[in-house]
Amino acid sequence: MNPGKIFKDGLLTNNPVLVQLLGMCSTMAITTSLFNGLGMGLSVTVILCCCNVCISLLRKLIPSTVRIAVYVVIIAGFVTIVDLLLQAFLPALSESLGVFIPLIVVNCIIIGRAEAFASRHSVGEALLDGLAQGLGYTAVLVIMSVVRELLGSGSFGAGVFNGGKGWQLFPAGYACSYLTLPFGGFMTLGCLIALVQFLRSKKGEAEK
C-alpha cells in the first residue's frame, strides 16, 4: 500500500474517532486537559504500533479460530508494559488517567486495526498503519483537550508547559465549567464529528 494513503486514512479520511467512531469512551472521559489528552494519545500510539508489528509477524501462525483471543493477550501485554512505565516515570499522568490506561486493552481502535489491517499486511505497512491511526487518535484528543481546558477552566498547558504550571489565560470564573464535565465531552466531540462530516460531504459534492 501507498504510505501516503495509510497516513491520510489514519489522520483524515478514516480517522479512528471522527470517522470510524471508535475509542469514544476514553476520548470523552480524559480530554479535560492537554496533559491527559497528549499522554493518552501517545500511549495508545505506542501500543498500536507494537501490537500491529507483533500481530503482523505472527499472522500466519495464529489460528483463525482463536485470533481475537490471541490479539487481546498481545494487546494486554503491551498495555501492561506501558502502564508500568507510566507508573515508574510519569506517576502524575498515570494517576490522572487512572483506569483508562488498563482499559486500552479493550479499546476498539487497537483490536479493530489488528483484525482489519495488521493481520493482513506486512510488518512495515502494519507499523505505518499503527502510527497513522495513533496520531489521528492523538490529534483528536489534543484538539478536544485544548478546547475543553481553555474554555472550561481558562487555562492552557497545565502539566506540559511552563514548568508544568501552564498558563491561566483568563479567570476561571469567566470560563464555561460545564465543558470539563461529561456533558462537555459529548458536546465537543459531537461538534468535531459534525464538522468532519460536513467537510466530507462538501468534498464529495465538489468531486461530482
Residues of 149-175 as b/e, b for ≥16 C-beta within 10 angstroms?
Answer: bbbbbbbbbbbbeeeeebeeeeeeeeb
What's the whole-number average pLDDT of the chain?
92
Rounded-to-integer distance, Cα 160 and Cα 39, Å: 10
Rounded-to-integer distance, Cα 75 and Cα 77, Å: 5
pTM: 0.93
Return the half-sphere exposure (C-beta side, CA atoms, 13 A cut-off) of residue 9.
15
Task: Give percent above pLDDT 90 in the chain.
Answer: 75
For 58-99, the pLDDT digits (tens) are 999 999 999 999 999 999 999 999 999 999 999 999 999 999
Q: If pLDDT is split at 50, 70 and 90, which confidence band does 208 have?
A: low
Q: Where are the domains of the chain?
A: 3-207
